[in-house]
Amino acid sequence: MDEEHENGWKKLNMVTFFLSPSKAPNVLNGDKINATRYILLSNTKAPLLEDSFPEDKKKALELSLRRNERCYSEHSTLLYPSKLWQDWTHVEDLLYMAEIWLLTLEKRGCASILKSGATGLAQVCFLFGFLVKFSTPSAFFLQAFTLSLSAASYHDSHLEVSLSLSDLHRELAFGGLPVGVAVGDANARVRIAEDNTPFFEVSATAILYACGGGCLGEPVTLGKSPTKIPIKITKPETSILYIATSRKHLEQLRSTIHVSEVVSAPAHESELLALHRHGAVMGGLPMWFWFFLVILLLAFHAFLAKLLWSEWRKGDMTPYNPYLRNRYSSSHSY
């Protein structure tokens, strides 16, 4: 049982999501995402990862998994604050949050995926000091969970990413999302260039193809090495990244996307980036500044200490000695 549980979590961790930490007030960070992810997975069953589950039923669930069209069809669930990222102090709050998550994913096109992993209650244990029922986690739920965070959705033979520009002022990444049937997994990362403009770095475990906003440019071939793809904003808005198993599919898709304008994603404001990176609009000073400031302060105090020591050693020879000062005054009084 322990080995089965351990192997199940290893397979689940193949689907990943990353969000760069932020020091800005009242924002979503990785600790809350990881805690929510663990709570939800611990309350969702994964029959495909159970050794005792019948093979015929496993095949039926695998077919259900492939019916992933339009999952996830809504804006990113990174929206904060919201009912999806609640703090909880009682088990009732925790179960209510899990229910909201499952309902949100179900109503946003992920019903078929969620059917492959029904909520199960296997045993009772204490989690973080509260009584929680949990079972083996669900790989299907984790896939839908990651899709919702990335604002990504499956369509006819391709994967679309529809993150809005307001979600791109922090670096984020996702990986392990399958594209096609047993073809390959897609990995993408949003980075911030030196001029504060966001861009994608995309890779894949097998040969896949990708194009940017509106798919107006020529599709690029993806491999294990990251490929840079500029982020384009269109009018009306379209997805900012398309990944497919076929170059021809993306070329055909291009003719079905109708836009009147396409521009490169604008640079983020320096104040906004500084707020996330340093917790203040003015930002943080570079490390070399603090290094030289410390050296300067140490040198000043060393010089001051040496000066005081020298004055103390001179004793009566200094003009500050009262006797010498009176003698000097008497000799110049006439």
Helices 139-150 and 91-105, interaxial angle, to 10°? 70
In angstroms, the CA 223 to CA 186 distance is: 9
CA dihedral of residues 300, 306, 312, 314 (deg, nearest 10): -130
**Whole-number Cα distances in Å, 309 to 202, 304, 305, 321:** 64, 9, 6, 15
* Mean pLDDT, rounded, for 293-314: 82
Amino acid at 75: H
Write the pLDDT tens digit of every residue in 259-276: 988 999 999 888 888 888
What band does 25 get if pLDDT is binned at 50, 70 and 90? confident
Amino acid at 83: K
In angstroms, the CA 240 to CA 231 distance is: 6
In angstroms, the CA 205 to CA 226 distance is: 11
Q: Is residue 281 within 8 Å of 275, Cβ to Cβ?
A: yes
Domain ranges across the chain: 1-125+133-149, 151-268
pLDDT at 83 over 80: yes
Q: Is residue 264 within 8 Å of 232, Cβ to Cβ?
A: yes
Q: What is the pTM of this model?
A: 0.73
Give the other-Cβ count within 10 Å of 82's Cβ. Answer: 12
Q: What is the gyration radius of the CA atoms in the chain, in angstroms?
A: 30
pLDDT at 64 over 60: yes
* Mean pLDDT, rounded, for 290-311: 84
- Record the tokens describing residue 12, joined without a space: 């689940």
DSSP state of 200: E
Pick from 35-49, 211-225, 275-289, 316-330 the range whose average pLDDT is largest: 211-225
Q: How far apart are the first and last CA of the chain?
A: 108
CA dihedral of residues 100, 106, 107, 109 (deg, nearest 10): 140
Write the pLDDT tens digit of every residue in 146-172: 888 889 998 888 999 999 888 898 999
Residue 329 CA to its chain's centroid (Å): 77
In angstroms, the CA 121 to CA 270 distance is: 49
